[in-house]
Chains A and B, each alone.
Chain A
């Protein structure tokens, strides 16, 4: 039942669409108020949003927290097997650091739609371009720049 998710075909888009169109382009979000400026180079964001590496342990907490990353809503992660209920909407994140570079993973976190155009995955570091956002979340990003880097530090260990 259900539609098979299509990450194999979509992964090819990174090479095609992004590689062609987005080289060294400033992300639209960067202009938005309150966001740390970042630069998209090829298919990733090479520079840390905070200028320093994240903390994997804090990242683990963000990933689990239902009001923050809530990544387990959609993804299974074997090393977090002690957490109940891993979702099936997205691919398992096991070995994800082997499939993507750090820069690619950072862009996937910042704005997954830049990589997977029609994805259901939320953009964790974007604060504009949305419709009917609830008042208390208006103009805000889901995660802070620091939290993005922390999650990234956790993902980088998934080899």
Chain B
């Protein structure tokens, strides 16, 4: 289903059959891996009594859509990312593949490790920022806009290589101050409704807020295909949406604030399998 709803992308229909084979191929390999979606005994000091993937809070129909790589509409972006991987662009005339070779090997764990420390910038960067650094520095190409089709496709593709790999981000050493900043943001009440992330995703997960079942707000499934968006969206887009819900002025996607928050939220999901592209309502 999903695929045809995707809009005026002619390639969809033309190469539907080919794509089916490709996505199935990818899927068999990845889905065979065991997915860790629940950790009953988080390490000491962890803020949650149990760590649970957002998948567990969704309706069976939504879960089924995610489970089947052919039905999962997010795979359109994964496939577009796969094509972009091989495309040379920029003055250096290089593609991702020229530097990184086989993505199944070179990108096996990256999707589980971001945000990561960047020595040159002296701060952590997320996957989007890493990809844009590769573009500007190594390819001498223009950076992609954060919520562009290309960026969403590439992040979907790269994270899918890490499917099944447990999330593990560095939080000590130079990462520490950014981790602390993210943590502070997570617990700061904001907006006219005066709520912190923790009010919903720590204190009330598992309960309904109107029709939505609150999850722990984990990010192991991103980029996530949202039925509401009719496309995949980034972690920072989701953060922005949650802030607007409480009538708070959101931080800018790609900002240091959202990157610090991403680091902290990634840490809260330590040990959960990467399961991009997830499907949400």
Contacts and interface: CB of A to CB of B under 8 A. Distances in A.
Interface of A: 1-3, 5, 66, 70, 72-74, 84-89, 113, 120, 122-123, 130-135, 137, 140, 142
Given A87-B208, A120-B195, A122-B194, A131 B203 contact: no
Contact of A133 (B191, B203, B206): B191
| Main secondary structure on B side of the interface with A | loop
A85 B193 contact: no
Contact of A89 (B189, B209, B211, B244): B209
Contact of B191 (A70, A73, A134): A134
B192 A131 contact: no
B249 A120 contact: no
B137 to A, nearest CB: 33
Interface in B37-85: 52
B247 interface: yes
B205 interface: yes
A2 B191 contact: no
Contacts of A84: 211
B199 A120 contact: yes
Interface in B234-275: 243-244, 247-249
B192 A140 contact: yes
B188 A2 contact: no
11 contacts: A85-B208, A87-B210, A120-B195, A120-B199, A122-B194, A123-B194, A131-B191, A133-B247, A137-B192, A140-B192, A142-B193
B194 A85 contact: no
Nearest to A142: B192
Contacts of A89: 204, 207-209, 214
A122 B190 contact: no
Contacts of B214: 89
B110 interface: no
Given A86-B208, A120-B195, 10 more contacts: A2-B206, A3-B203, A87-B207, A88-B207, A89-B214, A131-B189, A134-B191, A134-B192, A134-B249, A135-B249
A131 B188 contact: yes
A130 B195 CA distance: 10
Nearest to B208: A88
B58 to A, nearest CB: 14
Contacts of A66: 210
Given A89-B204, A122-B192, A122-B195, A132 B249 contact: yes
A73 B209 contact: yes
Nearest to A70: B210
B249 to A, nearest CB: 5
A135 B207 CA distance: 30
Contacts of A142: 192-193
A130 B211 contact: no
A62 to B, nearest CB: 16
A133 B214 CA distance: 23
B200 interface: yes
A133 B195 contact: no
A70 B209 CA distance: 10
